Amino acid sequence: MAVKGVGIDVVAIERFEDTVRKSPTFVTRVFTPAERDVGTASLAARWAAKEALAKALGAPSGLHWHDCEVVREDGGRPTMVMRGSVAARAELLGITSVHVSLSHDAGIASAVVVAEGD
């Protein structure tokens, strides 16, 4: 496997909270129902993961936020499910898997995504 793309994003949790408060539809526009069942800091980290994945894919226009979903494996490890517009872009780039790491501490949420393919 070769690295095809890397993305990183950092989110100020307080600023994220302000965005959610000012635009209540933001959460439903960006996150799937399953992703919404977490606290604000974790939600901000999921937003950072979506942004990081977009960067790893070259930040093309036309990606739909619901087409990438941060899910937890049984052991708690985060992973990303790609479908629709996001899966199509990944396929175009030859990406067959993505790895994601999430963190939040001291008012900051962050995520790193590594995209791999043959």
C-beta neighbour count of 30 within 10 angstroms:
18
Q: Note the pLDDT of residue 60.
A: 87
What DSSP designation does 11 have?
E
Q: What is the pTM for the complete model shown?
A: 0.94
Q: What is the pLDDT of residues 38-71, one digit of tens each?
A: 999 999 999 999 999 999 999 888 999 999 999 9
Whether the per-residue pLDDT at 102 is higher than 90: the answer is yes
Whether the per-residue pLDDT at 118 is higher than 90: the answer is no
Whether the per-residue pLDDT at 115 is higher than 90: the answer is yes
Task: Name residue, tokens 């209540």.
Answer: 24
Q: Domain count of the chain?
A: 1
> Residue 14 — very low, low, confident or very high, per pLDDT cuts 50/70/90?
very high
CATH code for the domain of 96 = 3.90.470.20
> Residue 24 — very low, low, confident or very high, per pLDDT cuts 50/70/90?
confident
Residue-averaged pLDDT of the chain: 96
Q: What is the pLDDT of residues 71-91, one digit of tens each?
A: 999 999 999 999 999 999 999
3-state secondary structure of 24: coil
Range of the domain at 18: 2-117
- Distance CA(35)–CA(25), nearest Å, equals 15
